[in-house]
Every structure is written in structure tokens, then in C-alpha cells.
Amino acid sequence: MTKSGLVTPALSKVIVDIVLGYSGGIDSQTTAQQLIAAGHRVIALTIETIDDREMMLRAEESARNMNIEWLGYDAKELFEREIIDYFCHSYSIGHTPAPCTLCNPKIKWKILSEVADKLGIEYIATGHYVNIERHNDKYYIAKGIDSNKDQSYYLWGLEQDILRRAITPMGQRIKSEIKLSYSDKRESMSICFVRGLHYTEFLTSRGISMPSGDIVDSMGNICGSHNGISRYTIGQRRGKGIPEGMRVIDIDTKHNRLIVGDIQRLYKHKLYVEQCNIVDEKELLAADDITIKIRGIGRNPELAVKVERCRCGYVVTSPDAAWAPAKGQPLVFYRNNLVIGGGIVVDFE
């Protein structure tokens, strides 16, 4: 692989206009400051995905205080259709959704790009803690230098037409150092649209039914009852009806059943992935140093995997078993610090 280094047009001496995804929080403010310090003109774009007038006013005031142009974009209907409906449907069929990984390519970065096009501006930027690198005329998301804040796992769905024009200065920053300059250090860590509710409360508020049903072992023997499959995820060991020492190892939506077993049943060596976005398929299939992540934070396999083509996507064989993969979870392929691509887990064994 020929290394071309970080893609950093914002650090060049040529003054350019840049549309920045802007929430008014620490990360977007710091990104704006860096771009301005480099001599560029920043247009701050705040995308309203849920009804949050306070956030919009705060972002507008923050941009005004920085003396940069501010634009608001109403994406509530699109977000409802593409993200919230997907989130609710996923749980209703026993899948584990990852709304942030879908929101990035379908909402945030897509809108940034469209607005930039309308304004005749080439470059877009965000405050994500990732880098972008170019190798052999292809663009890759790369891990940020702050391992505690790296967000590369959530951006596997970004395609080349987005990456070629994107700037991510925060990939070279350490969050703990940045926070020292701000009095308000609050961060949002939850799913934005549930507004502080537990996800099951949110699902109920959206009319998702949760009928009770049987909990069975791998032989089909009834050993308890659940209060709605949407309340459970793979690997769960606490919750109504789960026997002591057992975990949820599968969700049978057809028969409205939970299957439980011991923890060893959660380790899977083979994962099937569909709905993929791959930078270079030849590289993915030929390289012997591909690793994977099936969750942004937590247990992930560490050894290199084998990737092969199958009918609708890829089958991934890992000598280092993946713990508790769930249908609907993203699986992201890495080669050292580069994101080679990703997709959605549809099955495992």
C-alpha cells in the first residue's frame, strides 16, 4: 500500500470556503477555531434532526460569537423516516440497531455535501475524531490519534465522493486536552432522539408492541417467560425470566421466544455480513492483516480474520472468536489504522 498521508487541505496556505457540521459543542467549536486559524472561511451548518429549538439557538449564538456565518437545516422528517423508523423496526424483529452508523452517511454527511454543492463550495468538515488518508487514489477513514475518542467505527458507511472532500481536524487532537479550555464540559453520550428515556420506553411510546412469550434453552425446553423480545439483546444476563447463570444467545422473532444458554454459546467464529460499503474489495479479500470490530466500545476480536465472498455479501472467519455478535450490528474491517469498509451482521455461527 502506497502511503500518501493525511488529507488536510484545510492546512494548506490557499484560503478556501468550508461548510462545517456545527452543533455549537466543544468539538465543532474547536474545529471551527482551527479552520479559521488556518485562514479559511467557515460556514457553520446546524442540522436539526429532532425538535430541539434550544440546541438550534445555542448553535446560532455560538457561531455569531465566533463571527462566522450560520445556517440551519430542518432534517426532522428525513431523520424520522431513515433513522427512527429503522431503529424501531430493528428492535421489533429482534435486531440490535446502530442508528449513529446509519445517520452519518444518510443524514449528516449527505446534507453537508448537498448544502456545500448548493453554495458552490468544495470542502466539508466535521468535529469527528478521525483522520482521512489517501492511498492509491482511494480515500480511507483512519483512526484518530486519541484512542479514547476514536470514532472511526461509526463512519464506515461514508463513500468516496464524501471522503474526497472531507476535513476532520479533530483526528489529530486529544479530547481531554481540548476540554481544559472550556468551562462547560458536558457531552452527549446517549441516543439523541430518545431524549433521556430508556430505549424500551421510547419503543413503547412509538407503538411497538411487546407481547410476552417463552424463554427456552437450546433444546426447546421452556425455562421462563419474557415480557417482550424488544427488551432483550444478545448476551444479556439480567431481565425478567432469564435463569440464573444463563444469557440470551438468540432471539426467535417468528415464535416470539428468547433462547438462553451458557456464556460459551456467545462466542462465534463465523460472521455473515451484508449491506456493505467497501473501499477496495481486492484489498479486503487479499490482505492477511484484516481485523474487525463489532462494537465501538467493548470486546472485539484481536487476531486477523479471513474474508470471503458469499451470495449477498461476505463471510468472515475469525480464529479469535467474536463475543456476542447480534443481528443488525455493524461489523467494521480495519487494516492497521485504516477502515477498509464495513457492513451489517445478518447471521453468525
Encode pLDDT of 253-306 as tens digits. Answer: 999 999 999 999 999 999 999 999 999 999 999 999 999 999 888 889 999 999
Locate the DSSP E strands across the chain.
17-21, 41-48, 69-74, 123-125, 130-135, 138-143, 166-167, 213-216, 222-226, 247-252, 257-261, 267-278, 290-293, 306-309, 314-323, 330-335, 338-348
> What residues does each domain of the chain span?
9-193, 210-261, 267-348
Is the pLDDT score of 184 beyond 80? no
- Give mean pLDDT, residues 326-330: 96
Is the pLDDT score of 236 beyond 90? yes
State yes or no: is 223 an active-site residue.
Answer: no
Class of domain 210-261: mainly beta
Where residue 189 falls among pLDDT bands split at 50, 70, 90? low
Q: One of 103, 223, 310, 312 is an active-site residue; which one?
A: 103
Find the range with the poorest average confidence among 70-74, 139-143, 164-168, 192-196. Answer: 192-196
Q: How far is residue 292's CA from residue 307's CA, in Å, rounded to a whole number? A: 10
Where residue 2 falls among pLDDT bands split at 50, 70, 90? very low
C-alpha cell at 291: 481485523
Q: Which amino acid is residue 211, in one-letter code?
A: P
267-348 CATH, one of 3.40.50.720, 1.10.1060.10, 1.20.1070.10, 2.40.30.10 = 2.40.30.10
Class of domain 9-193: alpha beta
State yes or no: is 276 an active-site residue.
Answer: no
